[in-house]
Amino acid sequence: MTPADFPPGTVWLAGAGPGDAGLLTLHAADGLARADVVVYDALISEEVLAMASPKAELVFAGKRGGRPSAQQADISRRLIADARRGLRVLRLKGGDPFVFGRGGEEALALARAGVPFRIVPGVSSGVGGLAYAGIPLTHRSTNAAVVFVTGHSAAGRVPEDVDWGAVARVPVIVLFMALKHLRGIAGRLLANGRGGGTPVAIVSSATTAAQRVIITDLAGCADDAAAQNARPPALVVVGEVVRLREQLDWLAAAVRP
Ligand code: SAH
């Protein structure tokens, strides 16, 4: 690998992948080894943080217990201030920084402040998490399209700015941050004509040692999530591709004695 330029006074806005440190990109690993300060989110695994330089300052800037422990504006201000102090700043986010991670907002703040930055893409949980669950995101006989949707809204309800009618017609729906409002979201999809028997997978803590997959269907998913105590972070996958897991659960096969 040719190491990318990481001069003092710059920020790398990097994705750390869904959890398994093996899914870090070479650029992200290189950034971890060279950064003076690492500003990281709640979903960054210990295994990944352990790859930071022993001299680096590690700064937690995530959410715990659903409450923002650092405001978005404060995070952006901190990145700008550290860069202006001449530090190499690694801003590390779960998955890919530009997939529901507010990476765009931070990049805009850096651009406005005139701080040089680089975006290091990561394996989004919406891609890598499904792979570890043995669920192809697309499959030729099943779907020619897929949609990523957020189930979270600032108002604390099922997001109103999502066109649920349009989403319901996409063959494979990958929902992020959807556990809290799963009943309402499933209700919108059912009300918009999606069949109650459509298979659903709830994939929690994908790619980590705590990975857990619940297989259910659209009509039963909210009850099953509650009954089986589904935990965040989780992806909810709706569509026929979920059935392929029966044959493709390579992770279970790999750990079987
Ligand atoms: N930028 C991230 C998404 C950030 S939003 C990415 O590309 O993956 C946070 C949401 O991502 C979580 O609520 C959950 O829906 C999903 N997520 C992130 N990591 C996950 C994991 N290891 N397993 C399951 N879902 C995950």
Summarize pLDDT for 181-208 with one digit per residue, the tens.
999 999 999 999 999 999 999 999 999 9
pLDDT in tens, 123-172: 999 999 999 999 999 999 999 999 999 999 888 899 999 999 999 999 99
Please name which of 49, 45, 110 lies closest in space to residue 82, comparing C-alpha atoms. Answer: 110
Q: Lowest-pLDDT range, 58-67, 101-110, 130-139, 214-223?
A: 58-67
Rounded Cα–Cα distance for residues 193 and 200 (Å)? 16
Active site residue 51: no
Between the CA of 117 and the centroid of ligand 1 the distance, in Å, is: 23
User: Mean of the pLDDT values across residues 19-25?
Assistant: 97
pTM as predicted? 0.95
48, 63, 100, 123, best to mutate for ligand 1 pocket (most atoms within 8 Å of CB): 100
Ligand 1 contact via 124 beta carbon (within 6 Å)? yes
* pLDDT greater at residue 102 or residue 111: 111
* Cβ atoms 203, 127 nearer than 8 A: no
23, 25, 43, 238, best to mutate for ligand 1 pocket (most atoms within 8 Å of CB): 43
Active site residue 41: yes
Atom of ligand 1 nearest to the CA of 232: 13
pLDDT in tens, 34-44: 999 999 999 99
Residue 63's pLDDT is what?
A: 65
